[in-house]
Amino acid sequence: MGRTALLVVLGLGLAFNIFTYNLHKSNASLSEKQMDYVRMNVARNLARSAVHMVLRAYDRGENPSSFDAEFNNGVARAEVTTSGDTMWMSTEGVYEEKTYPIELVLMRGTKPFPNVNAAAGIRVNPVDFKMSGSPTIDGRNWNETGTALVGTGDLQGVSTMTSLDSSNVINEGGSRLKGSPPVKVDTTTADPLQFVNEYIVNADYTYGPGTYSSLTWGSSTNPVIVVCATPDTLTSVKFTGNVVGWGVLVVRGNLEIAGNFKFHGLVIVYGEDNIVNASAATGTPDIIGGLILAGAAHTSLTMKGTSELKYSSESLEKAKNIGKLRYYSILDWYE
Amino acid sequence: MSTLLDYLGSAIIFGILIITVIRVQTNISSIQTEMRSVIDSQTYAVDFVKQLEFDFNKIGHEVSTQKILIAHSDRIRFRSDLLNNGTVRTIEYRLGTPSDAAGTTNPNDIPIYRREDASEIIQIIGLTQFAIEYFDSLNVAMPAPITTADSLNRIRAMRVSFKIESMEPPITRAEEDTTYPAVVMERFIIPRNLSRW
C-alpha cells in the first residue's frame, strides 16, 4: 500500500512537471517570436539612422566614404560612393543576430541660390553709384583666388535696372569697369527677399553694427554663411584688416569693407524698404565671386582706393554647395 | 473491522485524489489550448506584419510609371521590383468573405488574398479586420477609395491596421462562450520610392 501510494505520488509529480514544462515551452516560443520581430525593428532603425548620420556628415563637409558606429547596443554601417550630385549608399543595421540592409540612391540638390548675372548685380532704381581712386569692377570670370582668368564664362561687370542708371554707371566708372559687357541693363537681378531667410536661419556667424577685424570665416573647402544686420540706416557693419572668408555674406543694412578684407563667394547687401549703402573704402578690400545690391531708391554703391570686385563662378559654385544649403532627393530606395 | 475501515478510507481518499487530478488536468489542458490559440494568433500577426512591411516598403521600387494602381481602404494594388532583380511586378492585396474561410470555426475571420502578377495565394490566418489609410506629403489623410491618377500619385504613406483572432475557440466550460483570443496591430509605413522623382 505504501509503495503504491509512493508510485502514485511520483507519477503525479512527473505528470505535473511535464505540464509545467509544456506551458513554459509555449511561453518561450511566443516570446522568441516576438523578440525576433523586435530585433528586426531595431536593426532596421539602425540602418535608417546610418543614412541620416552619413548625410549629416556630408552637411558638415566631411564627405565620408564609409561609416561605422555603435549605437543603441547595435551597429550602424554605411558605404558611400558619389559621382557629381548623385550618391549611392549601402547601409546596414546589426542588432544581436539580425541584420537589416538598405540600398539607396540620392541626388544632392541645392536650395535656391540666386542667379548672379554680374560682378555687381544692382537691383535698385535709381542707384547712387560712385567710384574714386583706382577700384575695379570686373565681370570677367576669375578663379577662386582671383589671381587668374578662367577664359570662359565672362559676365557683365555691372548690371542695372534702367538704361539711365546704366549710363550713369558707365560715366562714373569708365575704364575701371570691365566685363562682357562692362555695364548692361538686366532686370533679372535676383531679389534677396526671395531667398535670404534661408541664409539667416542657417548662419554660421552673425554680427550687429560695429567694426570688426582679424576674422577668418570658413575656408575654400568649408564655406560658411555670415549674416550681419543693422537696425537702422544710421549704423553700419564695418570689416577692416585681416578679414578673410568663403561662402555667403549677407548684410541687411549698411556695409563697409576696408583694409585687406577678402571674401570669396556671394555678398548680398539689401534693405527691405530702406536705403542701404555698400562701400569699399581705404585699403585693398576685395570681393571675388559676386555682389547683389538691393534696396529702396538711391541705395548706393561706393568704391574707393584700390578695391576690387571680381566675378568668379568658381567661388560662387563653392558657396552654392555649403553643406547646410544642400538637400537630398531620393532617386531609389530598396529595403 | 479496522482493516475494512482502512480500505474504505483509502478508497475514498484515492477517489478524491483522482478526481482532483482529473480536474487539474482538465484545467491545464484548457489553459494549454488557450495559450496555443494566443501563440498562433500572435505568430500569424507577426508573420503577417513582416510580410506587409516587406511588400509595402518596396512600393514603387524601379517603377517609373504609375506606382499605386488601386488604393481602397481594404484593397491595394501597386507595382514594384520586389526582389531587386530588374523585374517589376504588380502586387495586390484584397479581402475575401467569411464564407471563403468556412473551414474555420471562427465565423468572423476572412481570408486575405495576395496576388503577384498572375499568381494568387489565399491566406487564412484568422484575419477579422483589415484597413489601410493613405496620407499625402503633408501627412494629411486622404479619403479612400482614391481613384484618380493624380490623387494616387500624391500618396506618400499608409497606415495599415488589422486584427487577427484564433480560428478555433479555446475549450471553455460553457458551450456558448466562444471567445477568440485576438491580436491587434497597426503599422505606419512610408514607402520611400513614393517620394522619389
Residue A15: list chain B partners with CB under 8 A. Answer: 21, 25
pLDDT at B19: 85
Handedness of CA A13, A15, A18, A23 (dihedral sign): negative
CA of B13: which chain A residue's CA is closest?
Answer: A5
Which of A4-13, A259-268, B171-180 shows the lowest per-residue confidence on average (mean pLDDT)?
Answer: B171-180
Highest mean pLDDT among A54-63, A85-94, A298-307 belongs to A85-94
Instruction: For residue B85, give how far its alpha carbon lies from the nearest alpha carbon of chain A (Å).
Output: 11
Handedness of CA A113, A331, A102, A44 (dihedral sign): positive
Would the pLDDT of A240 be above 90? Answer: no
Instruction: For residue A71, give how far its alpha carbon lies from the nearest alpha carbon of chain B (Å).
Output: 23
Q: Check residue B129 and report its DSSP letter.
A: E
CA of B26: which chain A residue's CA is closest?
Answer: A19
CB contact under 8 A, B35 and A34: no
Question: pTM of the entire structure?
Answer: 0.71
Interface test with chain A among B35, B81, B164, B185, by most A beta carbons within 10 Å? B35
A302 strand-pairing partners:
A130, A279
CB contact under 8 A, A30 and B192: no
Q: Is A334 exposed, middle or buried (0-12, 13-18, 19+ CB in 10 A)?
A: buried
Residue A37: list chain B partners with CB under 8 A. Answer: 46, 49-50
HEC secondary structure over B132-179? EEEECCCCCEECCCECCHHHHCCCCEEEEEEEEECCCCCCCCCCCCCC
Which of A23-27, A170-174, A266-270, B69-73 shows the lowest per-residue confidence on average (mean pLDDT)?
Answer: A23-27
Inter-residue contact B196 to B168 (CB < 8 Å): no
Owner of C-alpha cell 466550460: B173
Number of A–B residue contacts, CB under 8 Å: 63
CA of B28: which chain A residue's CA is closest?
Answer: A19
Question: In chain A, which among 107-166 make CB contacts under 8 A with chain B?
Answer: 107
For residues A24-47, give the mean pLDDT: 85
HEC secondary structure over A49-105? HHHHHHHHHHHCCCCCCEEEEEECCEEEEEEEEEECCEEEEEEEEEECCEEEEEEEE
Give the nearest partner residue to A30 out of B25, B31, B42, using CB atoms. Answer: B42
Instruction: For residue B61, give how far its alpha carbon lies from the nearest alpha carbon of chain A (Å).
Output: 7
Question: In chain A, which among 310-329 make CB contacts under 8 A with chain B?
Answer: 329
pLDDT at A132: 87
Report how far residue A200's alpha carbon sits from residue A141's, in angstroms, rounded to the nearest whole number: 28
Which of A39-53, B9-23, B150-164 shows the lowest per-residue confidence on average (mean pLDDT)?
Answer: B9-23
Report how far residue A247's alpha carbon sits from residue A251's, in angstroms, rounded to the nearest whole number: 13
Instruction: For residue A95, give how far its alpha carbon lies from the nearest alpha carbon of chain B (Å).
Output: 17
The HSE-up count of residue B18 (CA atoms within 13 Å, CB side) is 7
pLDDT at A163: 95
Q: If DSSP codes are grouped into helix, strand and coil, which group holds residue B120?
A: strand
Report how far residue A241's alpha carbon sits from residue A189's, in angstroms, rounded to the nearest whole number: 30
Which of A123-127, A262-266, B177-181 shows the lowest per-residue confidence on average (mean pLDDT)?
Answer: B177-181
Q: Using 50, 70 and 90 to split pLDDT, how confident is the model at A2?
A: low
Average of per-residue pLDDT values in chain A:
88
CB contact under 8 A, A8 and B17: yes
Report how far residue A221's alpha carbon sits from residue A207's, in angstroms, rounded to the nearest whole number: 23
Q: If DSSP codes are grouped into helix, strand and coil, which group holds residue A318?
A: helix
Owner of C-alpha cell 562714373: A172
For residues A154-166, give the mean pLDDT: 95
Of A178, A153, A48, A65, residue with least CA distance to A102: A48
Inter-residue contact A271 to A300 (CB < 8 Å): no
A29 touches chain B (CB under 8 A): yes
For residues A219-232, give the mean pLDDT: 88
Of A207, A131, A225, residue with least CA distance to A173: A131
Q: Using 50, 70 and 90 to split pLDDT, how confident is the model at B172?
A: low
Q: If DSSP codes are grouped into helix, strand and coil, which group holds residue A288?
A: strand
For residues A75-93, give the mean pLDDT: 93
Report how far residue A47's alpha carbon sits from residue A193's, in angstroms, rounded to the nearest whole number: 39
Instruction: Give me the interface pTM, i.e. the ipTM.
Output: 0.80
Per DSSP, which regions of A161-285 are E strands?
177-178, 183-185, 205-207, 210-212, 215-217, 224-229, 236-239, 243-252, 254-259, 262-270, 277-283
A31 touches chain B (CB under 8 A): no
Per-residue pLDDT tens digits for B99-144:
888 888 888 899 999 999 999 999 999 999 999 999 999 899 999 9
Of B111, B72, B75, residue with least CA distance to B92: B75
Would the pLDDT of B177 be above 60? Answer: no
Handedness of CA A155, A160, A166, A168 (dihedral sign): negative
Cell of B38: 494566443
Q: Using 50, 70 and 90 to split pLDDT, how confident is the model at A289?
A: very high
- Residue A266 phi/psi, 5° resolution? -105, 130
How many C-beta atoms lie closer than 10 Å to residue A268's C-beta?
Answer: 25
For residues A256-278, give the mean pLDDT: 83
Owner of C-alpha cell 484548457: B30
Instruction: For residue B54, give how far its alpha carbon lies from the nearest alpha carbon of chain A (Å).
Output: 8
Would the pLDDT of A53 be above 60? Answer: yes
